[in-house]
Structure formats: structure tokens, C-alpha cells
Structure 1
Amino acid sequence: MENSHTKNLSVLLLATLFISTSGVLGRYIQLAPEAIILCRAFLAAIFIFIFCKFKKVDLKIKSKKDTISFIFSGFLMGAHWVTYFYALKLSNVALGMLSLYTFPVITAFLEPFFIKQRINTVHIFLAILVLIGVYILVPEFSLENNQLQGVLFGILSAFFYALRNLMVKEHVKNYNGSMLMFYQMIVISVLLIPVLFFADFSNVQSQLPLLVLVALLTTAVGHTMMVNSLKHFSAATASIISSVQPIFGIIIAYFFVHEIPHFNTFIGGSLILLTVVIESIRSKK
């Protein structure tokens, strides 16, 4: 049992590490946010489809109700990505990160409505600790001009992400995680087709290697592993443990773009790591 828990926890942390690459990769890709998301979703759909065919994963949706749910969860995932990019555009990376990481708190409050049980006060406490850790982590906090709009977009993005995770959690018992991600990527690609008519794709060829990397490593592999982890953890637990993502992002940024962490980074990072360790031990039970 302990070995099984360790394996599941390792997969969740590895998924978080892969997802963390989006920050550095996104910094290098010279395209509009909507164009990046469209290319990311479309390429990821291709990679996941090839994987599903190779592994003979059943892509059949079992009911009309599930089809509607798949479409809605795909919309939520796309809305999460778009609003997060706008949060970063309107404010800065620090505020965008802080506002997005309200999602463990939002998940802890919303999950009882999906699984019909009382709110877990420990999850609320740990999620708030994560939020404090991220607050300390960011180098600067100010709400001037349109930065407040950026924070609101970030919180909206967190709400979409929390809701999407809870909806996917309902399906992981009956469907393969790769299959769920495939349909979400299809929905996002279809919804963003209008982007083809107004976004600038003139330099997409030069950006293709990075787009392939963010589609394959971050999305197809990272997010699919994250979805599969929901089979073994509650959405709140997975959210809290995956809060180690900013720390992974900072480490990756240090090695690849030579960003030197501030002293606050170590304090905030330690607080986040503490909550991750506590929830990792608790989830073993």
C-alpha cells in the first residue's frame, strides 16, 4: 500500500514538474496568447491521439451526458488558459502567479459540492498556507492601474481550473486520462478557430520547436499524468501537492534563463513545501 502511494505521489510530482515548464517555454514563444493556446491544444491533440492509437485506448464516449460534460470541461480548460494569459498581460508574472494559486483554496471549498461531504478544514488551512507561501514568493505586490484587473482575471482563471479538475475527477473512474485530455484539446482547438482570422501567425514556423515542446511535454504528458493522478487523490489533495509548481518553475528558470531567486523565494518556497509534505503524509491514510 505504501509503495503504491509513493508511486502515485511520484507520478503527481512528475506531472507537476512537466507542467512547470510552461512558464519558461511561454516566455520564449513569440506569438499572441490566443495563438499559442490554439497551437498548443491542436498539437497536443495530435500527440495524444497517436498515443491513444498506439496503446489502443478506447476513444468512445459512453453517453450523451458525458459528451456534454466533456465539452464543458474542455471549455473550462481553455477559459483557464486564456484568462491566465490575460492575467499575466494585465499585471505581471508575480501577481498572475499569486492570483492563479488561489485554486487550491477554491478547490477545497468546491469539492464537497461534488462528492457530497463536509468541507475538510485541514484542506482549507493548507490551501491558505499555500496562498501565503506564494504571496511571500512573489518579488513585488502592488495594485496600480490595471493590475487589479489582472488579479481578477487570475482568480477567474483559478476558478475555471478548479472547476475543470473537479469535473474531470468525476470521469477518471470510467475513462482513460489520455482520452479525457484528447477531447479537451479538441474542444479548445475548435473554440479557438476564430483566432486563425485575426492573430498574427507570420513567425509560427520559427516558433514551431518550442510550440511542439509545450504541446508534448507540458500538455500531452504533464496534464495527462495530472488527470490520471485524480484517480488516486482527491481534487483538493492533488491541488495542494501540485502547488510545488512555482518552486519547480523558479528552479527551471534559474537553470535556463538564469533568473536568480530572491531571499523571499526561499521563505515562501519552504512554506509551500511544508504544506506539500503535510498533505503527502496525510493522503497516505
Structure 2
Amino acid sequence: MSSLPANSSSPSASWANWLQLHLVVLAWGFTGPLGRLISLPPVETVAWRTGMAALGLAVVARMLRAGLNVGGHTALKLLGNGLLVGGHWMLFFLAVKLGNVSVAMAALPTTMIWCSLLEPLFEKGRRISRLELGMGVLMVLAVG
């Protein structure tokens, strides 16, 4: 039986967190095979996924009576982040189409390396974390 994290506020919250983590891992695991089965090109696949996510966000915001308005500077940051993430997913689905699911999924552990190198460029005063970089390299080695 697995043990729960010691710093959790309640057992039900801990189980909910563990369940959420496992569902995310399951979703990531199915992303490659589903991308292989989808007949749409990568750009259209990402466009449809983005549209469905935006619609879902709008529905949830409406149910919670929350606004989605952001300021101009924040909107530019969100747009830049969205373009970067969208480009990542387009390249991922292109890799699935051109290569195979195994090769595309094997590249996912490099995400931590890229984040540890790129994040300091966008966050002023933050240095490259040796721990994050080392963990990323260990993850790549483990998959290899």
C-alpha cells in the first residue's frame, strides 16, 4: 500500500491529488497513440484541441460566474505562452505522424531540461537550477 504525503491537510485531499496525478499521467500516455489514430494534420489537431479547451474554460468560467478579462500586458504574455505551447504540440503530433509513437513519447522527458533552461530567460533574477537540469538529464537517461 502506498503512503500518503506527510504534509497533506486531509486524507481526502491527498487521495484527490494522487488521483489527479494518475489521471494526468494516463492522459499523457494516451496522447501519442490517439495522435497517431487521428487523421487530421498536426496543425488542425492542435487547433481543434485548443478550441475545445477554450470552450470548456468558457463554460466553467460561466458556471463559476468568473470573468475572463485580462489586461493588455497579461494578454500578450498569455498569447506568447500559447504560441509556444501550441508550437510544441504541433511538433509533437508531427513527430507522431512522421516517426512513431515511441520516438515521440521518448522525447517528452526533455521537457524538464527545456523548462530549466528557458525559464530563467523569462523570469528576471532567476538562475538555472542545477537540480532541475540534473533531474531532467536523469529522466532522459531513465527513458533511454
Deviation at 1:84, TM superposition (A): 1.3
Any gaps of 5 or more consecutive residues in structure 1?
Answer: 136-285
- Map of 1:75 onto structure 2: 83
1:2 counterpart = 2:7: yes
1:97 counterpart = 2:105: yes
Deviation at 1:29, TM superposition (A): 2.3
Any gaps of 5 or more consecutive residues in structure 2?
Answer: 1-5
> What secondary structure sits across from 2:128 in the alignment?
coil
Return the alpha-carbon distance in structure 2 between the equivalents of residues 41 and 58 of structure 1.
19
TM-score, scaled relative to structure 1: 0.41
> What secondary structure sits across from 1:17 in the alignment?
helix
**2:26 aligned residue (17, 41, 48):** 17
TM-score, scaled relative to structure 2: 0.75
Sequence identity, in percent? 27
1:130–1:28 distance in 2 versus 1, CA, 3 Å:
same
> What secondary structure sits across from 1:60 in the alignment?
coil
Return the alpha-carbon distance in structure 2 between the equivalents of residues 126 and 27 of structure 1.
29
Structure 1 residues 112-131: aligned runs within 5 Å: 112-113=120-121, 114=123, 116-131=125-140
1:109–1:34 distance in 2 versus 1, CA, 3 Å:
closer
Deviation at 1:115, TM superposition (A): 5.6
Query: What's the Cα RMSD here?
Result: 2.6
Return the alpha-carbon distance in structure 2 between the equivalents of residues 34 and 7 of structure 1.
37
Return the alpha-carbon distance in structure 2 between the equivalents of residues 9 and 124 of structure 1.
25
Return the alpha-carbon distance in structure 2 between the equivalents of residues 60 and 25 of structure 1.
33
1:31 counterpart = 2:31: no
1:51–1:19 distance in 2 versus 1, CA, 3 Å:
farther
1:20–1:57 distance in 2 versus 1, CA, 3 Å:
farther
Q: How many residue pairs are counted as aligned between the two chains? A: 134
Structure 1 residues 95-244: aligned runs within 5 Å: 95-113=103-121, 114=123, 116-135=125-144
The Cα offsets for residues 105-155 of structure 1, whole Å up to 9 and x where unpaired, read as: 1212233342623333222221111001222xxxxxxxxxxxxxxxxxxxx
